Amino acid sequence: MTDEELMDMAKKTSANAHTPYTKFAVGAAVLLSDGEVFTGCNVETSSYGSSLCAERNAIASAVAAGRKDIVKVAIYSPESLDVVPCGTCRQWLLDFAGDKDIVILTQGENGFNTYTIKQLLPHPHNNSTK
């Protein structure tokens, strides 16, 4: 799967976001080692702490299907360029990356911006996988 195809899946999924409070829609597409993709969008509730980010939504879908072998994640928001995961999502991504360093794609001004999870979370929680 190309980066463009993965980002397109994240973009399409962002249209399903439920964001009545922030009006900040986000879509994520999680690529697994065999090419399968799980998508997710952010879902807000009036109890903000129980809202779910797009990345965690996509990861939870993969885990529910018995999958944890994430290799790449595309994140898209029509509201802003270069949307990176929040701290909680960074920890989730690292925990499910195992011993590899997954790639995170965001929509940049001139194409894609690419990060590794270890760049975004250089000092993870002590119990996370390495």
The residue segments making up the domain with residue 56 are 3-120
Backbone dihedral angles phi then psi of residue 37, each to the nearest 5 degrees: -125, 135
Residue 49 or residue 59, greater confidence: 59
DSSP string, 39-69: EEE-B--SSGGG-B-HHHHHHHHHHHTT---
Residue 38 or residue 128, greater confidence: 38
| Active-site hit among 4, 44, 55, 109 | 55
Instruction: Give pLDDT, residue 97.
Output: 72
> What single-letter DSSP state applies at residue 18?
B
Instruction: Give pLDDT, residue 130.
Output: 46
Name every residue whose Cβ is closer than 8 Å to that of residue 30 and which is 6 or more positions away in sequence. Answer: 37, 38, 39, 40, 55, 58, 59, 61, 62, 70, 72, 73
Specify if 125 maps to a domain.
no
Specify if 129 maps to a domain.
no
36: annotated active-site residue: no
94 CB burial (10 A radius; 0-12, 13-18, 19+): buried
pLDDT tens-place string over residues 62-110: 999 999 889 999 999 999 999 999 999 999 998 887 667 788 989 888 8
pLDDT higher than 90, residue 13: yes
Quote the mean pLDDT of the chain: 90
Other CB atoms closer than 10 Å to residue 123's CB: what's the count? 6
Domain count along the chain: 1
Residue 109 or residue 9, greater confidence: 9
pLDDT higher than 90, residue 51: yes
CATH number of residue 100's parent domain? 3.40.140.10
Specify if 130 maps to a domain.
no
Specify if 106 maps to a domain.
yes
**How many Å apart are CA 90 and CA 56, to the nearest integer?**
9
pLDDT higher than 80, residue 127: no
Specify if 113 maps to a domain.
yes
Instruction: Give pLDDT, residue 70.
Output: 92
Specify if 27 maps to a domain.
yes
